[in-house]
Amino acid sequence: MEISKSKTLEADHDDHKSSEEPEFGLSLEKLNLGPKKKLLIMNLNGFLLHRAHVCDKKAIPKSRTADYKYPYFLLFKRPFSEEFIKFCLERFEVGLWSSAMEHNIDDALACAIGELKNKLLFVWDQDKCRDSGFKSLENNQKPLFFKELKEVWHSVKKGGPYSASNTLLIDDKPYKSLLNPPNTSIFTEPYDPVDKCDKALDPNGDLCKYLKGLAEAEDVQSYVKDNAFGVPAITTSHPDWGFYSRFRRSIE
């Protein structure tokens, strides 16, 4: 599902119009148009919050209570999640892409960022992911999904066009970007709700400093290539490449 977002553009008129300007309208200089915002896409569970099934005792922290509970799941909000979204909205078009099912997203998103969810360019769920047909390494009961950015580039028109040069995906699972062009994603460690000192989303932290530089950069791929951040991407040198290359070949 996509959440629409209206924008307004204001321009100041000079008291005296130059004779060289058209009788109607404004010159591009007077419109003072800045560069288009890049597109930033982020994950939900593992990044903005921690979600635990009520039957999964290992995933439920004992040192804190849940911020929200709905049937079968407990939600633990990550510190600075709303401040982080505000920071991002000032500099990027922001979309959210979760591999969870649609009916599990709305309450979780409201828990993580409140009414700011209405400012997102889009919210995508599992239906927009590509099912590899395999199970993940960490859980042989969990389907292994990919997030193919080409689906975003083909589908999301508002604020675009978007491409590898102006799109960044942030996720805590590097394999989800395995089918994307290189240097279009960065990866973070999954949020640990037990960590009381977690400041990964602090607007004054390293991630936001990195994103501020990205917003000012000319090209996403060049910036990511020249400025390593977070967990490494899965490449031929990855210790689990044998596993991932197997199903990558099977679906390409």
Answer yes or no: is 153 within a domain. Answer: yes
Q: What is the mean pLDDT of each run of 10 residues along the chain (252 residues)?
A: 44 43 41 74 98 92 92 95 98 98 93 97 97 84 92 94 98 95 98 95 98 98 98 91 77 61
* Residue 138 pLDDT: 81
Please give the DSSP secondary-structure letter assigned to residue 75.
Answer: E
Answer yes or no: is 223 within a domain. Answer: yes
Answer yes or no: is 115 within a domain. Answer: yes
- 222: containing domain: 35-46+90-128+143-249
SS3 161: coil
Domain of residue 191, CATH code = 3.40.50.1000
10 Å Cβ neighbour count for 207?
Answer: 21
Contacts of 203 (CB under 8 A, 6+ apart): 80, 83, 84, 86, 87
Answer yes or no: is 234 within a domain. Answer: yes
Answer yes or no: is 109 within a domain. Answer: yes
Span 217-235, pLDDT tens digits: 999 999 999 999 999 999 8
The domain total for the chain is 1
Find, among 34, 74, 10, the residue nearest to 216 by Cα: 34
Span 113-157, pLDDT tens digits: 999 999 999 999 999 999 988 888 888 888 899 999 999 999 999
Answer yes or no: is 26 within a domain. Answer: no
Answer yes or no: is 135 within a domain. Answer: no
